[in-house]
Amino acid sequence: MKKVHAALLIALVILLAGTLTTAAFAINAHTAFTNRVVAHVRVAGIDLSGMDALAATSTLQRAYDAMISAGLPVTVGDETQKIDLFASNGSDVAYNLLDWDPNAAAQEALATGHSQNAFVDSIFTLYYEILGSKSYTAHVTVNTDRLGEALLAAFPTAQIAATPTDFSVSFPRGMDPVITIAEGTNGQTLNLDPAMASIATDAKDLKLQSIAIATMPVTPFMTTTDAEALIPKANAAILAAPYTITGTNVSGESETWTVSQKTIADWILPMQNIEHGPVVDLEPEKMVDFLTELHTAIDISAKNARFTIDGGKVSEFQGSKDGTVVDDDAFFAAFVAGLGANESISIPTRVDIASVTTENVNTLGISEIIGEATTTYTTSTANRRANIKHGAEKLNGLLIAPGETVSLLSQLRPFTIEDGYFPELVIKGDEIKPEVAGGLCQIGTTTFRAVMHAGLEVVERRNHSLAVSYYNDPSNGNPGTDATIYDPAPDFKFRNDMPTYVLLATNADSEKGEVTFTFWGTKDGRSGSYTPPTVLSRSPMGTKVIKETDTLAPGVEQCQHGFPGAVATFDYTVTYGDGTSKTTNYLSTYRPLPETCLVGKATSVAEPTDEVIAQ
């Protein structure tokens, strides 16, 4: 009996010793990986074991930059081209055609095997050290619109435009119009959808293989037979002209427009309607000038409530007023329905509701400044200044409800010349092309800093690709506190996590080159602040790159200056009224970009180009 007790005691001692040894080993392993990636964790096949946030982010950023810099080899038929995956004008118009956030991926890797419990973390760390492993793929987003544009531009001969089946109308002297059918022709284009899916899958390891893209036929939507059957209706639509269009102009007076037979003959076309089959329809693209004329004569924009500031307080409000604008969709539908009928067509309008009314501003407790930021752009081009002013005006008076998340891209769209934006010249591959809405990253950066000063919640933020001097922090001149936006991504989003409404007031002074964003509301005891950014490392811009091009005259050179790379960090802290606080660390990685010059080939003959000028 004594021998049995002795054996059990020895076994217990051995088990206890083993447990203590294992626990000690686990604790030591956990200590070694505190604030670091645990063993055997990979992202895109890259081993991040033992790396802290800076090392992991920098490692992933270098791999991502290498993929972007290498470009995408594409073959169509017997022709192969390398597609550049980065476009820039050497300023804030800089974007990748494949988007990914290395910092977010590094944070995901750092979170693996870590929790809020030290003992549990020790066990996890030991598990990954001895047995476990974790692999993440790079969830790269393909900018399908811009990559598709680049692919189509690289293979122009692979595309044959299809011509639609259409009405051909002549007006013999003294006779009714004669309508014949202009038969459509087949064409072809690149089959981009499967190619985009393949590229997204291939990019998961941050390495791109050459891809072959097939062509696909493009056929006219309308057959000749169906179009011929519509000739009597088309003839009736033309003979019913002139059409009388009536509406009320901005002066409150009735105004009339007429549409002639020849204009209707130009506007109508045969179309396949999903519900009703072949119909005589109107071509919106040919009606743009007419619709613009109607909007100019009729539209009265809504006026938001405005306020004056006296001693840091809101002292007076200017009343809001709803507006009236032409309802394009309803007008188009009414016009199509009225084809062939000799009746006047009334222009439908809709109410343009003021987003900030006198009533809601006065009753929602918007009485004091809760956060403000100012950024400068004194050396910007005229077009960039115009874009900043236009973007700021679109945000001015934005009323944000408690719990509401604001997307800057959603608020600033559409990014078109028609909306009021101006183009900037951008190097894309071996060409310099206009890119609309340059300068809006000034809007993103100003909003980001104002949000932090107000202590609001940042939902989504990405730094620029390049360390542009426009966005160096005013506290010490370092990069790191900027926010980029570019349609369709990345975006800047923030949430009003206060219990009351918040109002955003903006002011862009193009002459001074200064834009100020101010958040108004009711303070709830919180305060927001951020530390001056610290540059952790810098990298050289690299060797000058020269690309030959057919778009410039022989020997003519156009360059964009280079940028050194950098890694910067800062902390954003919100201290709440109850004494609790929340600190978020931001790590911003900027890619190096060598000076890039386009030089006209010796045999090239450049066409004259129009200079981009802000009006």
Domain hosting 482: range is 364-600
Which of 136, 162, 191 terminates a domain? The answer is 136
User: Once rounded to an integer, what is the mean pLDDT over residues 461-485?
Assistant: 92
Kindly report the number of other CB atoms within 10 A of residue 126's CB atom. Answer: 22
Q: How far apart are CA 465 and CA 129, in angstroms?
A: 35
Q: Are residues 386 and 350 in the same domain?
A: no
DSSP letter at 89 equals -
Rg (CA), the chain: 31
Beta strands in 33-175 (DSSP E): 41-43, 46-47, 72-76, 79-83, 86-88, 94-96, 98-99, 134-136, 141-142, 166-170
Q: Are residues 304 and 371 in the same domain?
A: no
At residue 342, φ and ψ (nearest 5 deg) are -85, 60
The answer to whether residue 195 is domain-embedded is: no
Q: How far apart are CA 533 and CA 452, in angstroms?
A: 14
Which of these ranges, 354-368, 414-428, 481-495, 531-545, has the smallest mean pLDDT? 354-368
- In a 13 Å sphere around the CA of 89, the CA atoms on its Cβ side amount to 18
The answer to whether residue 413 is domain-embedded is: yes
User: Which helix (H) or strand (E) is 347 found in, with range?
Assistant: none
Q: How far apart are CA 353 and CA 369, in angstroms?
A: 25
Q: How far apart are CA 304 and CA 302, in angstroms?
A: 6
Do the Cβ atoms of 304 and 285 come closer than 8 Å? no
Q: Which of 289, 512, 485 is nearest to 406 (CA)?
A: 485
Strand pairing of 345-346 and 243-248?
Answer: parallel
Q: Are residues 353 and 382 in the same domain?
A: no
Res. 364 pLDDT band, cuts 50 70 90: confident
Q: Are residues 125 and 249 in the same domain?
A: no
- In a 13 Å sphere around the CA of 535, the CA atoms on its Cβ side amount to 14
Q: How far apart are CA 397 and CA 302, in angstroms?
A: 12
485, exposed or middle or buried, with CB in 10 Å at 0-12, 13-18, 19+? buried
- Which pLDDT does position 22 carry in this prediction? 46
505-564 pLDDT, tens digit per residue, is 898 988 888 999 999 999 999 999 999 999 999 999 889 988 888 888 888 988 888 889
Q: Are residues 442 and 545 in the same domain?
A: yes
pTM above 0.85, yes or no: no
- Which pLDDT does position 94 carry in this prediction? 78
Do the Cβ atoms of 560 and 595 come closer than 8 Å? yes
Q: Write down the number of H helices and E strands in the chain.
A: 15, 39
Q: Are residues 431 and 565 in the same domain?
A: yes
The answer to whether residue 236 is domain-embedded is: yes
Q: Are residues 313 and 334 in the same domain?
A: yes
Which of 306, 330, 362 terminates a domain? The answer is 362
289-307 pLDDT, tens digit per residue, is 999 999 999 999 888 777 6
- Which pLDDT does position 164 carry in this prediction? 92
Q: Are residues 398 and 531 in the same domain?
A: yes
Q: Are residues 298 and 420 in the same domain?
A: no
Do the Cβ atoms of 479 and 568 come closer than 8 Å? yes
